């Protein structure tokens, strides 16, 4: 049976080929960013994927949105796998290693074997946190400017020394793949992340949450903003029925 893709034409059909991706860029931390560089599908992609079960396609915007809400409310999440995002992110190594634990997605990262690290590519925190005994996952910020300045000074000294040794090793002819091992986890890296909306929502559940490390929270919040702008119906339904965090 043929599916009628023309039924229920929407008034404002998004044209994915003409999206201005330049507006989907957020600066994060002191030197990081996340930007949307490509996208396949939108809210309507999930609708079409769900209705194919009945040999049907799009209907009216009202009925299509209602279906999105129904799918999310009842945990029918497979149709959301047909919305796919590709992000370009720049983040400290320790953030990237947490990010890469989200396995349902594809990653390609800049290679420190092929590229040389620039001396300004280290993350300097803007706040200081301490662990709380009742929750091993959680840290709380302290309003202590003197301690923060001391922490930053100590970290910058380590960064300067490690980078100095790194450059000396490079100057001695040591391969980049070996010289890099003296660099700290604060070193910035860049990567591409391609992920479907279902997996992106899982990422937001875990990282846009106060139990996640503060730095990755900032990336998750920015990604949530992009998700909201590009898939408003899916985002609205997710926040109402699927979101388990406490920051959005």
Whether 51 sits among the annotated catalytic residues: the reply is no
CA angle, 217 then 102 then 41, to 5°: 90
Work out the end-to-end distance of the chain between its first and last CA atoms, rounded to an integer number of angstroms.
42
Catalytic residue among 13, 136, 207, 244: 207
Q: Active-site residue numbers?
A: 207
């Amino acid at each position: 049976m043929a599916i009628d893709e023309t039924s229920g034409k929407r008034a404002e059909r998004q044209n994915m080929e003409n999206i201005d991706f330049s507006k989907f860029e957020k600066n994060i931390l002191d030197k990081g960013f996340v930007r949307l560089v490509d996208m396949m599908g939108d809210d309507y992609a999930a609708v079409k994927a769900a209705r194919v079960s009945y040999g049907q396609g799009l209907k009216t915007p009202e009925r299509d949105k209602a279906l999105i809400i129904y799918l999310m409310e009842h945990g029918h999440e497979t149709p959301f796998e047909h919305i796919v995002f590709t992000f370009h992110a720049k983040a400290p190594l320790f953030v990237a290693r947490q990010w890469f634990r989200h396995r349902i997605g594809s990653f390609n990262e800049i290679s420190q074997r092929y590229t040389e690290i620039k001396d300004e590519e280290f993350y300097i925190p803007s706040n200081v946190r301490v662990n709380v005994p009742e929750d091993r996952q959680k840290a709380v910020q302290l309003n202590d400017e003197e301690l923060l300045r001391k922490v930053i000074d100590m970290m910058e000294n380590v960064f300067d020394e490690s980078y100095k040794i790194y450059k000396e090793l490079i100057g001695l002819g040591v391969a980049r793949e070996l010289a890099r091992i003296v660099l700290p986890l604060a070193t910035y890296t860049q990567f591409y992340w391609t992920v479907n909306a279902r997996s992106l929502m899982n990422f937001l559940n875990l990282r846009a949450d106060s139990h996640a490390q503060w730095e990755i929270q900032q990336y998750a919040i920015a990604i949530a903003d992009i998700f909201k702008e590009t898939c408003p119906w899916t985002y609205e339904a997710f926040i109402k029925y699927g979101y388990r965090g406490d920051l959005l």
